[in-house]
Amino acid sequence: MITTLIAEARKILIKIGSNTLADQDGRINTLFLEDFAAQTAALIKAGKQIVIVSSGAQVAGLSTLGKWARKQDIHYKQALCAVGQVELMAAWGRAFAPHQVHIAQILLTRDDFGDSLRTLNMRNTLFTLVDEGIIPIINENDTVSVEEIKIGDNDTLAAQSAVLWSADLLILFSDIDGLYHKNPKEDPAAELVPEVWDIAAIRSQISMGGANPFGTGGIATKLDAAARVVSYGIPMILAQGGRHRSLEALAAGTQRGTAFLVPSLHPGGKS
């Protein structure tokens, strides 16, 4: 099913989690970026359009200003993200440069999705960029976001952006292989769920773990993201992003993941 979803989708939004972007030392994993950029460039040459939601601003900021690692004041956190956004985009730019692919940065807050004029402008900008072969890289504008306007996690941001862009497919790359009935990091007997047609039902069947060390979202936010996009007719894939050539492996069927599917398209007539 995953191979079919990727093959049939023209407009693909991919979210990269902080744990995927960070290496073991908590710095930006440049090898991952280079590897991912090569795979993404190949998809574009094959006729796909790609939008990326990228975590990692705080990781990049800490890589640059390690002396602020223990600062918990909101102003330091926002300043850290301001520094990190520059470093993060520079790293993405270097990764895509060998493939002659340009990138563009889009920073958003929750309020942007609640204003009809802003959403129209955001949508038009996304369409213009991808039509020109440019990859938009979206992140939350953490520099100005406070609790009242904060989206909170990039799983939610990715889902909102996928709906805004009318994507054909959302891929969430995380540090787990997909959705399990139990936390695989705590229970080695946990089993991967390959397909989900009923998100409400699966919520009651699984035991959720906590968030990862770098990210803000746990499995609950991923289920929320899936529920949002599926309700708009957009399927979603949850998969491990840190494996070698993970995007190609998913497309080839050599890597596992979980496909969240649109109920109305169930071959058995499930609605």
What dihedral do alpha carbons 218, 219, 221, 227 form, nearest 10°?
170
* C-alpha span between 56 and 16 (Å, rounded): 9
Is CATH 3.40.50.1240 the classification given to domain 2-265?
A: no
Tens digits of residue pLDDT in 168-203 = 999 999 888 999 988 777 788 888 999 999 999 998
CB 251 within 8 A of CB 3: yes
pTM over 0.75: yes
Q: Considering the chain, what percentage of its residues have pLDDT values greater than 90?
A: 55
Which residue type occupies 60?
Answer: A
3-state secondary structure 97-142: HHHCCCEEEEEECHHHHHCHHHHHHHHHHHHHHHHCCCEEEEEECC
- Domain regions of the chain by residue span: 2-265
CB count in 10 Å sphere of residue 48: 18
- What integer pLDDT is reported at residue 52 of this predicted model? 97
- What integer pLDDT is reported at residue 176 of this predicted model? 86
Torsion sign across C-alpha atoms 195, 197, 202, 205 = negative
Residue 262 buriedness (CB in 10 A; 0-12 / 13-18 / 19+): middle
Query: Between residues 212 and 200, which one has the greater pLDDT?
Result: 200
Q: What mean pLDDT comes out for the span 36-60?
A: 90
